[in-house]
Amino acid sequence: MKSQFYTYIQNLQETITKALEKEDGGASFKEDIWERKEGGGGRSRIIENGNTIEKGGVNISAVHGPLPDSMQAYFNVGKVDFFACGLSLVIHPKNPMAPTVHANCRYFEMYDTNKNRVDQWFGGGLDLTPYYLFKEDSRHFHEQCKKACDLHHPAFYNTFKEKCDTYFYNKHREEARGVGGLFFDYLKADETFTIKDRYDFTTTVGDSFIEAYIPILNKRKNLDFTPENRTWQEIRRGRYVEFNLVHDKGTLFGLKTNGRIESILMSLPPTVQWCYDHHPKQGSKEEELLNILKNPKSWV
């Protein structure tokens, strides 16, 4: 399973980076191959200062070795080894009218001291973070999420949409990071689903990314915007940074397992602002977005 899934994410990285380069029409991804001294490594692909994409990354990795003490406590296990592989991407467009997007798909195995596999699971999802609210964009994104889920189980979309709204939430701000999407973790084999079923679902979600996001980026990338729009984008990017550094499990796992710092922090935007006690004008487009983020809604 681990070799099958790693082959899948290698191919998915290739497909997604080609689609994003075509949409940008200017910049190309730079590839960075790296190794982790404890075991494993990865292939980071970064794009910067393009016609459309200000900064983005589509990274894959496969790492293994003894599970660090800090993560043993997190998983409530003793001395074990682990294997983890996945693809993670974040795209920050230049135009404030175009949303930031994040997607991830991952697979994890755990082994006892005799090298026997004692656990395995899948995780992943995708979510949209707009700076200005276009309701049709949110609907399109969620329609693609639901389409992927419905191929596997009628309850998946509502379940994983709710988990996304709960997970990508800045508790200290009492607001969501964006308009959500899907989030799932610890998808294991059980009496209903085999591990192959979990693989099939996770890869369907991964395959849905291009159709979920590229049409939105294409529609918004050339819209007019003002310096004030750009300032709002950078203030909202600050909330994105706060979530990733305070709450995000993937970031924390990477830091605690001696992951590659440049690849872990590729999700951070290049320009950002923290304005003291900032509040948008009453009745403005900026306030409209905040109202949605404080009260997540159903889009489909």
pLDDT of residue 296: 87
- Residue 199 included in any domain: yes
The fraction of the chain above a pLDDT of 90, given in percent, is: 87
The residues annotated as belonging to the active site are: 102
Domain hosting 237: range is 2-294
Q: How far apart are CA 214 and CA 201, in angstroms?
A: 21
pLDDT of residue 259: 74
Residues contacting residue 107 through CB under 8 Å, at least 6 positions apart: 1, 2, 5, 84, 85, 86, 120, 121, 122, 123, 199, 202
Q: How far apart are CA 49 and CA 56, in angstroms?
A: 9
Average pLDDT of span 39-62: 96
Q: Has residue 264 got a pLDDT over 90?
A: no
Extended beta strands in the chain, E state? 30-35, 40-48, 53-66, 81-93, 100-111, 117-129, 169-170, 175-176, 180-187
Residue 38: which CATH number? 3.40.1500.10
- Residue 299 included in any domain: no
Domain count, the chain: 1
**How does DSSP assign 171-199, residue by residue?**
TTTTEESSSEEEEEEEE---SS--HHHHH
- Residue 265 included in any domain: yes
- Residue 133 included in any domain: yes
What are the tens digits of pLDDT across the range 198-242? 999 999 999 999 999 999 999 999 999 999 999 999 999 999 999
What are the tens digits of pLDDT across the range 85-109? 999 999 999 999 999 999 999 999 9
Cβ atoms of 35 and 44 closer than 8 Å: no
- pTM for the full model? 0.95
pLDDT range class, residue 121, cuts 50, 70, 90: very high
Helix (H, G, I), strand (E, B) or coil at 268: coil
Residues contacting residue 170 through CB under 8 Å, at least 6 positions apart: 176, 177, 239, 242, 243, 246, 247
Cβ atoms of 161 and 181 closer than 8 Å: yes
Q: How far apart are CA 185 and CA 171, in angstroms?
A: 20
Average pLDDT of span 139-168: 98
- Residue 300 included in any domain: no
- Residue 112 included in any domain: yes
pLDDT of residue 192: 97
Average pLDDT of span 112-119: 92
